[in-house]
Structure 1
Amino acid sequence: MPPSLPAVPRRGFVWGVSTSSYQIEGAVEEDGRGPSIWDTHCRIPGRVANGDTGDIACDHYHRYAEDIALMRELGVGGYRFSVAWPRVLPQGRGKPNEAGLAFYDRLIDALLGAGIEPWLCLYHWDLPQALEDQGGWTCRDSAIWFADYAALIGRRYGDRVKRFATFNEPAVSTLFGYGFGWNAPGLRDLDALLRTTHHINLAHGAAVDALRAAVSGASIGAIHNRQPCRPESGSRADREATALLDAYWNRAFPDAQILGCYPDPMAERMAPYLQSSDLARVQRPIDWFGLNHYGPIYAKADPSAVLGFAWGSAPNGTLRSEIGWHIEPAAFERELLAVQQAYGLPIYVMENGYGAREALDASGRIPDRKRIDYLAAYIGALQQAVAKGADVRGYFIWSLLDNFEWGNGYNDRFGLVYVDYPTQRRIRKDSFHWYAEFIRAQARRPQSSAEP
């Protein structure tokens, strides 16, 4: 067990878990759901490891009650999930799909019945293919499409859901989907990348306004990845590449959405895509900053890349997870403080976790000590950031379940719960029991008079 966290306010602090629709739901052709860009992407040979798809994933569409029972056993206070846009609007616009809407009614009602607050994310990368066929995020009208979708979700669930996120990691979905070609829709096109970046920012602002109009007492944010960006070498070219990566990866979306501007290294590139009132439409008041963080990332110069940089490698000897991601809890502390200083909003950590390649041992267990050590170290770093003034109000682990991990398919496992995909059996890892006991320990901790 890590030490108790006296600097983290117990009253109102949310310990939770996160998932996303395409990664866990499955049932891609059931009850009127339309295809998403990820259904299409997975069927292009070579795009996803092993030819994996989200067709079944964790079968959460049918097993959500079992998964909520696991969350209740954990004792979490919040569950962040995403709605599958093509499940509720198969064409992306027009007539809603009542069967798809009803699924989220059942999910939300079951969460509330279990004493777990639903945190609803509107978009976690699964754009309806019908909208992609009309230009998708490269089309300026996409902001209108998204606002209409947000209004539908707000009207349907706003009597029970108050916590809404507009987008999850828009920098990842755009850079990987339109710059590097790794994710759906698999493009390497500078114009598409910059156009999409601005249109998603416009969509965020429009969705905030739509949710405010539809939901009384809504608490709205967006979820951004933030990682320290470092050069692969000390060369000037790699340092300049790193500045570009930092601008795009860490600041292009939150700076526009909260500060009303694009960061200097990319502002000139973005100018042709802006109309006169656009930044005011993007910069709508929000209530909290959602932070996803894992570890530092590296850049190197690449003149052939659409933004002039490529993914770099961490130095030899760097502490890494089993899937090669850099581990540095002190960087997490610094990012929490940097976000607080830059944006001045309450912070909810919506993703943090440890990826591994795992299999059941001879006794049928997953003794994932490295994940436990990682979580303990990163929660300790959160404690230090709070002690230094970061207004952190929640921490959600990625992920409740092992799931479809995008281009890596089912190779990488982040879950507190092991999923045996052929049988869909859920098996609690040692980290599951650790987190459950940790949450119980926080509930037992005496309340300080200095805490809010």
Structure 2
Amino acid sequence: MKTFPEDFLWGTATAAYQIEGAAAEGGRGPSIWDAFAMIPGRTFEGHSGIKACDHYHRWEEDIALMKEMGVGCYRFSISWSRVQPDGKGEVNEEGIAFYNKLIDGLVEAGITPWVTLFHWDLPLALQMEHDGLLNPEIANRFADYARICFQRFGDRVKNWITLNEPWCSSFLGHGNGYFAPGRTCNSEPYVAAHNLLRSHAYIVDAYRKEFQKEQGGVIGITNNCDWREPKSDRPEDVAAAHRALEFFLGWFADPVYFGDYPASMRERVGERLPKFTAEDARLLKGSSDFFGLNHYTTMIASEPAEEVHGAGDIKGNGGMMEDQQVELSEDPSWEKTHMDWNIVPWGCRKILEWIDKRYGHPPIYITENGCAMPGEDDREVALNDTRRVEFLKGYLEACHQAIENGVDLRGYMCWSMMDNFEWALGYSRRFGLHWVDFETGERQPKASAKWYSATVKANGF
């Protein structure tokens, strides 16, 4: 029996645009993802989150499914444009009422809400009128929006995540254009990332100065990172793997823990990497009460034999490859998910240990980990998802090993509570513990939901 610490937090996770639907209901304004999904060829078969899982109307049913599983927490995001339709100014009371009902329902069910303020769905008006994340003023808009959420929900919400995976908004949104707003550039990712980090700092500053003492909550940021395993023990390959992690996770975590970007980025990106003012650096350093990590896969890293060009592909999740100069590969024996991501549980242990060492033993929560597996468009295949169960077992075993090795891992949130809109891949990939019929909205627990439930209730497996 692999038993986890007594107060270990078990949960599941979703994001607003992926599950809510009701995109034009209840006073919600459009987001950049509504616009992006309308451009031909940007999402699989033109899919969008207009209807998604209809969680907006079926939230009570979804809470009941979570309660049945016995999870201790539920991580969800708030749609900014449902709260502030144009990203500034007037508050939409219908949107506030929806989230109040959801939060109250969770609390009543004994499930702790973990709220992500921003999971990529920037209000479209901010993009169209103010250049979105490229405008330094966005940090003030973020702080104003966050204050509304703290004021309206902070009496019950005690766990806040400012941003989800700013790497995706920066690189996939502004580097290779795979995500909204669909821009391609070798400098914009660094500008967007810089303004997102400033936004995070401004949100945390507002919370700590105006709300935290009275409300007694915690606040942090969630970053995503794959593990980078050196191809050999040659110093060049070890250095390449380390550099790859700095360009992926260090890009966002170093400013939060140390107040500036990694030296390797300063050296290689040069003038395209913005500089923090003394005040922004002060606000950033120490601006997370915990380390939120989304982890899915592992790649092998090595010093390239010849110069690497281009932004880097989606699968490699490599960021601006021409800047970091790292060659990525994989072991042909590794199994893969439907996302074509390698299944490498020990990579999870290694990234946890890397974070623990680099950032001074912070409390860590895995805020996403899970998989999409092939064949799940077929309901019967999906409901008997033994490969997902094996995936979860492997990664949770790696988490257990990391804890035994001294890592302060305090919780695990499985991605995802249910099948949903998988961004550019539309409804062609299913990450859910629960099957969703996207025509009727019907939900049904998969074998993985039952296995995860048993694990949660036993606090181990």
TM-score in terms of structure 2 length: 0.89
| Partner residue, 2:386 | 369
| Partner residue, 2:64 | 69
Residue 359 of structure 1 deviates from its aligned partner by: 3.7
CA RMSD between the two structures: 2.5
Tell me how far apart the structure 2 counterparts of residues 362 and 334 of structure 1 sit (CA, whole Å). 35
| Partner residue, 1:195 | 191
Residue 188 of structure 1 deviates from its aligned partner by: 1.3
Amino acid at match of 2:173: G
| Partner residue, 2:202 | 206
Q: Is the aligned partner of 1:259 residue 2:258?
A: yes
| Partner residue, 1:165 | 161
Q: Is the aligned partner of 1:25 residue 2:27?
A: no
Q: Which is further off, 166-175 or 271-280? A: 271-280
Equivalent residue in structure 2 for 1:347, among 349, 352, 364: 364
| Partner residue, 1:331 | 347
Q: Which is further off, 271-280 or 433-442? A: 271-280
User: Contact 2:220/2:287 (CA < 8 Å) preserved in 1?
Assistant: no
Q: Residues 130 and 237 from structure 1, CA distance in 2 versus in 1: closer, same or farther, beyond 3 angstroms?
A: farther
Tell me how far apart the structure 1 counterparts of residues 382 and 331 of structure 2 sit (CA, whole Å). 33
Equivalent residue in structure 2 for 1:393, among 397, 406, 410: 410
Amino acid at match of 2:164: N
TM-score in terms of structure 1 length: 0.91
Q: Which is further off, 311-320 or 170-179? A: 311-320
Q: Residues 409 and 242 from structure 1, CA distance in 2 versus in 1: closer, same or farther, beyond 3 angstroms?
A: farther
Q: Is the aligned partner of 1:435 residue 2:452?
A: yes
Residue 65 of structure 1 deviates from its aligned partner by: 0.5
Tell me how far apart the structure 2 counterparts of residues 362 and 254 of structure 1 sit (CA, whole Å). 40
Amino acid at match of 2:334: T
Tell me how far apart the structure 1 counterparts of residues 241 and 371 of structure 2 sit (CA, whole Å). 25
Amino acid at match of 1:332: C
| Partner residue, 1:292 | 294
The SS at the match of 1:190 is coil
Equivalent residue in structure 1 for 2:2, among 1, 4, 8: 4
Q: Deviations over 1:44-91 (max 9, x none)?
A: 111111111010110001111100000000000000000001110011
Count of residues in correspondence between the two structures: 439
Amino acid at match of 1:395: Y
Tell me how far apart the structure 2 counterparts of residues 41 and 233 of structure 1 sit (CA, whole Å). 41
Residue 231 of structure 1 deviates from its aligned partner by: 7.6
User: Contact 1:228/1:331 (CA < 8 Å) preserved in 2?
Assistant: yes
Q: Deviations over 1:16-45 (max 9, x none)?
A: 000000110011101111111111111111
| Partner residue, 2:314 | none
For structure 2, list consecutive stretches of 5 or more residues without a partner in the other structure.
312-319
Residue 442 of structure 1 deviates from its aligned partner by: 2.2
Amino acid at match of 2:2: S
| Partner residue, 2:280 | 278
User: Contact 2:336/2:342 (CA < 8 Å) preserved in 1?
Assistant: yes
The SS at the match of 1:160 is coil
Tell me how far apart the structure 1 counterparts of residues 257 and 412 of structure 2 sit (CA, whole Å). 21
Q: Residues 424 and 200 from structure 1, CA distance in 2 versus in 1: closer, same or farther, beyond 3 angstroms?
A: same
Amino acid at match of 1:155: Q
Residue 342 of structure 1 deviates from its aligned partner by: 1.6
Residue 192 of structure 1 deviates from its aligned partner by: 1.5
| Partner residue, 2:317 | none
Q: Residues 311 and 200 from structure 1, CA distance in 2 versus in 1: closer, same or farther, beyond 3 angstroms?
A: farther
| Partner residue, 1:13 | 8
For structure 1, list consecutive stretches of 5 or more residues without a partner in the other structure.
446-452
Amino acid at match of 2:366: V
Percent identity, aligned pairs only? 41
Tell me how far apart the structure 1 counterparts of residues 106 and 34 of structure 2 sit (CA, whole Å). 28
The SS at the match of 1:118 is strand
Q: Is the aligned partner of 1:51 residue 2:50?
A: no
